[in-house]
Structure formats: C-alpha cells, structure tokens
Amino acid sequence: MPPRTPDVDPGTDLERHRALRIALNAAPHLSRPAAYRLALEPERWAGAAARGEPPDRLAAALGVPRAQMERALAVAAEAEPRAARELAAAEQLGAAVLLREDPGYPEALRQLDLPPPVLYVRGALFGALFQTAPAVAIVGSRRADAYGLEVADLFARSLAAAGVAVVSGFAYGIDAAAHRGALAAEASAGGVTLAVLGCGLGVDYPRGHGGLAAEIAARGALLTEFPCGLAPRSWHFPVRNRVIAALTAGTLVVQAAPRSGSLVTARHALELGREVWAVPGRIFDERSLGPNALIRDGATLVQHPRDILETLRPAIRDPQPGLFPAAAKQFTPPPATALAEPPPGLAAEILAALAPGAIRLPEEIAAGLGMPVDGVLGALLELELGGWVRRHPGSAYGRA
Amino acid sequence: MPPRTPDVDPGTDLERHRALRIALNAAPHLSRPAAYRLALEPERWAGAAARGEPPDRLAAALGVPRAQMERALAVAAEAEPRAARELAAAEQLGAAVLLREDPGYPEALRQLDLPPPVLYVRGALFGALFQTAPAVAIVGSRRADAYGLEVADLFARSLAAAGVAVVSGFAYGIDAAAHRGALAAEASAGGVTLAVLGCGLGVDYPRGHGGLAAEIAARGALLTEFPCGLAPRSWHFPVRNRVIAALTAGTLVVQAAPRSGSLVTARHALELGREVWAVPGRIFDERSLGPNALIRDGATLVQHPRDILETLRPAIRDPQPGLFPAAAKQFTPPPATALAEPPPGLAAEILAALAPGAIRLPEEIAAGLGMPVDGVLGALLELELGGWVRRHPGSAYGRA
C-alpha cells in the first residue's frame, strides 16, 4: 500500500470513512461478510481507486471477491449522499446510528472478528442496557405450542425480574412470548428486553407486532444492523441470530424444529464461547426435537429459570421468590443430587466417619461414633448393598 | 475357625447348605443384606452353634448385626423343613428354585458382591434368556400418562423386535406398558420380556395383572428373590430394582417423579457400570422431572429406540425398519450432528482442503481446488462468519 497522501485532513478523512461505512452497510448488492470486512479497514481501500489501484489486487489484499470489491468501490464513489439518506431515515424513525467506535455500540459486538459496521437502535435503554445488566437470549420456533409459549413467558419474566435483559428476535411464537414475558415482569424489577430484527427499523414486520415494538422501545430497545427500509429476507435471520448470540451471556432454546434458525443461534453462541441452554420436551413433538438434540449434544438442560440465574451469578441480583405463585406448586425441580444423594440417618454418619481411602473395622467406627457395634454392622450392610461402602478382607470397610 | 469335622459327608454338607440358604432367604425376620451375607458363606457359621461358638463373635466375624446372627442360627436349626416347604410351594407354582451355583442362575447376578441367595423363576425362557439376548430395563412411574405409556410401548416393541429382552418390574403404568409392548413385537422377532417382582410368585400382585403374568410366563419369565407366599412391602421394591439393574445392559427411565423407585434403579445401574438412558419430557410435568434430572446429571438422552440399539451393537441384530408405520413420520429424530454440521458446497470443499493447523492463502486454496480465487474468497468469508475459519495476518486462512 502506498503511503497515505499527506494533504488529506484527518478529521475530514474520519468523517468520510464514517459515511463510507454507513453507505457500505446499506448497499443492496454487497454481501454481509464483504461489508463487514471492508468496513473494518476503509483506509486501506477508500482512496485506492482514485490512486488507480486495480480492483483485483485490492480484492485479494482485503480478502473479498472481486465482484464485491467493484461494488464497494462504486458505493464509495457516492458514499456521502447514500449515508446522508440513511441518517435522515434513521432520524425520522427516532433511531440512533452507531458505528463501532461509538460509545453506545455494544462491547460484545465490537469484539467480534467481523462486527456489524452499523447498528440502528431505537428505544429507551439502548445505552444503559449493555452496561448494567447481563443479557440472555430466549429463542425458538415461530410455530410454538402452548407449552413453548408458557416456558418462554416464565423464563423471560423470571430473568427480567432478576435484572437480566431478555434478548430475542421479535418473531412470532417463542420470541414474542419472551419479549412480552420480560415486559410483564414487575415494573420495579425493570423488565428490560431487547429485540434484534432481521429487517430495517422502518419495516413493519412481522405484521401485527407494531404495538409490541412500541412497548419494547418504551422499556428496552429495538436493534438491527440492516438499513432502515430493508425488508426481511431469509438470509437476514442467520445474520440477526449471530448478533443475538454475541450480545448475550447465553442462549436458551425453548422449542425448535431440527435445522431451524434457533439452532443457528445456538451454534453461534457455542462458537462465541457463550452458554447454550435448552428446555427438554416430548420426543414425539417436532418442536422439541431441536432442544432435545442440543441437550444430547451437550447443551445444558434447564428446568427452571434459576438454573440460568445460578450460572450468571454473581452478575445478577437475587431472583424474586414467589413471583409466579400459580406455577410455583408444579414448578419444583428435583434436587441436582438426585443420584448422589447420601443415605439418611445412622448410615450417613457412618459414611461421614469413613474418610475416602480409609479402611476401618466396624468396632472402630462404632467406638468413634459412640454407638453399639450391632447398629453399625446393620447400617454398613445397607451401605454395602447401596454401593456406598465395600467390605474388605478381615471384615473391614471402606468407601466404595 | 476350627478344622472341619472329618466325619461329615461332604455331599450331605452341600445339601444342608443348599437347604440352609433357601431357608435363610425365606426367613421373615432376617434383613435382606444379612441373608445375602450369611448365604455367601454358610460353611463359616452353619455348624458353629453346634460347636458352641458365641453368636456375637460369629456376628462380628461375618459382618452382620448380632440380632440378625441369632435369627439366622434359629433358622439354621430348622432349615431343612423350612426349605422343603419353600420347594413344595415353588413346585406347585411351576417355578424353578435357583441357587447361585445352578446353571440357570444369571451370571450378571452371580457377579454381584452380595447376590440374591435364591431366585424363583417361572416361565418358558428363563434359562435361554440370559444367554442369548442382551437385556434392557424399561422402568418408570405407576402413574404414567399417555405420553409415557406410548414411549414405553414404542421402545419395548422396537427393542424386543431387535432381539433385546425387555426387563421391567411388573407394576402398573410404565412397567406394564413395557412388558406388553415387548409381547406385542412381531412373533417372529421373539418379543421376549422378563418381569422382576417385588413379592413372591404365589402372590397376585398387582391386582389385575394375572393375565399379563400368564402371557409373560408363556413367552418370557417372571423372576423374584422373595419366597413364594411373601406379600409386597415398600422396602421390597428397591431390592427388586437392584436385580433389574444388575440383569440388564442398561436402564431406560421413561417417566418418573423425583425420588421415585425408578431413580433407585438408575442409581443401581450407574453403580454397576451399566448404561442409564432417560426420555425427556416437559418441565412442568411432575412425571418428567425424574428423567430430566437424570439427563441433567449425565444420563444419556434418548429420543428413539435406535439410540439404545446403537449402544448395544454388535450384541444385537438389526432392528426391523418400518415396524411402526403410524409413528414413523413424526418419529424422525434430528441428526446427531445438529451443531457440528459442516457448511454445504464449495465452503465444505475449502474446509476439507484446509488441514487442521495449516495456514493457506486464498490463491493457494483456489489453485489446489482448480477454482477461481473470487469464489474461494467469497466462501472463505462465509466460513469466517460462521466461525469455521479464521483470517490471519497477510490474508491467509486457517481452521478456527
């Protein structure tokens, strides 16, 4: 690369690169990955065309296909009017336009290898959101059933009430139930939720979610990397799902068909070193095949919001007990030690008296506990039968 | 121990010890563990009382409480008439009485530290059962719902059709559905099932299962360690569950409340180094809290009988495809590689061309694959975005 032309004012250069990145991000014929890559290093190519560098050399140097490079150079030629149009559209929607260097741009996205060049954010809490609260994604099928919707609502309410920001994709089904559940958490608890869209903020999608969007904007935020007027397309959703995974400490998959978008979010979460939680369901239920497969493949099975809250500690304050009195009775998960539970009573005392690795005679154990040998012998037999202790030659006992 | 009195005929001695073990096993006031222990070494104590050895010294030497030792000595004093009564009762029921050294006694039980001294077995297949077929336990709640019953039926049919013996506890609910499912497997496939009882073979328990018992006896076997006339008690069921776990390659828990007997069977299975499988269910369903907790604690989540059959290979023959045409459509579990699925097309070829650890330039990869650099750059960007590859300084790529 030739040395930077010294007669360019750096302030103006930065402004130009800012406009270029907004224009690149909004360019209709540029792939997302190419836009990500080129927006990372505008100084390496923005002035290159003017300097007569051939596009194929630039493309190879920057790691983008030549066709994408040529499109980007065409965008660069009219970057400023394009960016101005985007900024005006965002202003009309009441949305902030954040670039990577801006203070409101989430640190978790900034740290991605290929961060979204631009975020459009609308809502009350976008700045505070990522600094004050841990965030959890709750995602799942658009075609959820009553079970899935109840689970999404319960987890979202409980997490929001505990001070966790609930992030989802603003779709029908699980996503909407998660947003609504978070909003329904007691007002004192915050009830913060963040919707990440697969289209521009100016597009009314999906139909009928306008009221939900307004509620989310009032208490949380709507966020997208897509330009204001861009309608959703199927390939937008994996792009959105990467942002959802990256923004959160972990992703909870509630119901999802095999090969569905929620599993893409889970895969992104795994790749980014985030947690993946899944709610089990019936094996005959298509919508539970996704979460069940995730669990089989190593995701953490969760049965209660506290399974997630315990992972997030100490980042969060205590969940409010008794938040769901109606569901509380049936919603008592079993102890985590179901299989490792020690035997009760005398047997437990004897087990405690047997240090791991030690071999002791029943008489010694009885003397140590101040108990009759007979009772100790009986309890040792029960412990042996239960697999807790093993009998050694000479009638001595040790832990199994 | 004093040297053996030489004027005892060894043949008669063995016969006496056989009768003693049958009598011990049937003695009403002897604990199971004490009976197990004393039946292991009849020669160490059977003649001791006659030789004037004090019971407390015997008790300590054998590792049983003194009260149990005294009861055992009382049983020994009239072992032969007691044993004769048991043998007559068994004969009347058409049951075999098997001791540890008998050929039909299952090897898997013989290898326990404290094996049941006596097994009562009734049915067509008790001898062949444990030698020809691998066995799997299917256990669960007495109060199963439609989901649990359907799962138990499906797994039992499919496993039985594949030549696996289905072992269960003959209770209402999941157990009965498992036995019936195995019996319903196509006749050509065998459909073998084994019921392990928590009471004597002469007791009609649970009510209404007489017909099922007759069917099981005709095609499989009923088995118990309890004497013929002994009614069930709550503490019999953990005893039975140990036998179920020990007899099988693994235990499948279909539906079970927390702290239920099925979890005891699973714990025995774990202790014995057997597999534990569990079928997930809804988190609001009390009956699924047991299996869900087992999965969370490390049991293998299964969604289809083939998940179990694959573990048992090559011990079994192939399952019959199309056995359940009605359930087949909905019953297609997702691929095990849901999360690790490689990207399709050119991206997959590029990934394959990148050896783990290698760092290569896009131009090299393109030349190696005989493809234009442009297409390779585009695919590399997609791979980078998906977390499959990482870009290194100098525009070179390696696996992530």
* A235 secondary structure, DSSP code: T
- Residue B214 host element (H or E): helix B210-219
A86 close to A56: Cβ distance less than 8 angstroms: no
To test the contact with chain B by mutation, choose from A1, A296, A337, A388 the residue with the greatest count of B C-beta atoms within 10 A, namely A296
Inter-chain residue contact B63 with A377, CB threshold 8 Å: yes
Closest CA to B223 of B394, B97, B387: B97
| pLDDT of res. B13 | 78
| pLDDT of res. B189 | 62
CA distance B265 to chain A (A): 10
Flag whether pLDDT at A231 surpasses 90: yes
From chain B, the residues in CB contact with A330 under 8 A are 284, 286
From chain A, the residues in CB contact with B152 under 8 A are none
Residue of A67, A295, A373 lying closest to B60 (CB–CB): A373
0.90 cut: is pTM over it?
no
* A56 secondary structure, DSSP code: H
From chain A, the residues in CB contact with B33 under 8 A are 378, 381-382, 384-385
Cβ–Cβ contacts within 10 Å for residue B44, how many?
13
Lowest mean pLDDT among A8-17, B297-306, B315-324: B315-324
| pLDDT of res. A210 | 95
Mean pLDDT within A251-273:
91
Mean pLDDT within A322-330:
29
Contacts of A382 (CB under 8 A, 6+ apart): A343, A347, B33
B182 close to B191: Cβ distance less than 8 angstroms: yes
Q: How confident is the model at residue A325 (pLDDT cuts 50, 70, 90)?
A: very low
Closest CA to A198 of A248, A123, A139: A139
From chain B, the residues in CB contact with A384 under 8 A are 33, 113-114
Q: A314 preceded by cis ω (within 30°)?
A: yes
Burial of B40 per CB tally in 10 Å (0-12, 13-18, 19+): middle
To test the contact with chain B by mutation, choose from A292, A295, A384 the residue with the greatest count of B C-beta atoms within 10 A, namely A292
| pLDDT of res. B296 | 93
CA distance A210 to chain B (A): 31
Q: How confident is the model at residue B24 (pLDDT cuts 50, 70, 90)?
A: very high
B145 close to B158: Cβ distance less than 8 angstroms: no
Angstrom distance (rounded) from CA A102 to CA A119: 10
Instruction: Read off the tokens for A60.
Output: 């190879």
B326 close to A27: Cβ distance less than 8 angstroms: no
Mean pLDDT within B351-364:
86
Angstrom distance (rounded) from CA B378 to CA B376: 5
To test the contact with chain B by mutation, choose from A274, A282, A311 the residue with the greatest count of B C-beta atoms within 10 A, namely A282
From chain B, the residues in CB contact with A395 under 8 A are 60-63
Cβ–Cβ pairs < 8 A, chains A and B: 230
CB burial string A101-112: b at 16+ within 10 A, e below: eeebbbebbeeb
| pLDDT of res. B134 | 86
Lowest mean pLDDT among A206-210, A379-383, B226-230: A379-383
To test the contact with chain B by mutation, choose from A381, A383, A384, A390 the residue with the greatest count of B C-beta atoms within 10 A, namely A381
Q: Closest residue of B to A299, CA-based? A: B296
CA angle (A271, A277, A278) in 5-degree steps: 120
Mean pLDDT within A357-362:
87
What was the ipTM of the complex prediction?
0.77
Closest CA to B31 of B50, B59, B57, B5: B59
Lowest mean pLDDT among A113-117, B119-123, B236-240, B390-394: B390-394
Inter-chain residue contact B303 with A289, CB threshold 8 Å: yes
CA distance A213 to chain B (A): 29
B162 close to B189: Cβ distance less than 8 angstroms: yes
Q: How confident is the model at residue B163 (pLDDT cuts 50, 70, 90)?
A: confident
Sequential DSSP letters for B128-186: HHHHHS-EEEEE--TT--HHHHHHHHHHHHHHHHTTPEEEE---TTHHHHHHHHHHHS-
From chain B, the residues in CB contact with A303 under 8 A are 283, 289, 292-293, 296
A142 close to A167: Cβ distance less than 8 angstroms: no
Burial of B20 per CB tally in 10 Å (0-12, 13-18, 19+): buried
| pLDDT of res. B92 | 96
Cα–Cα distance list, A344 to A29, A243, A351 (Å): 69, 49, 10
Mean pLDDT across chain B, nearest whole number?
85
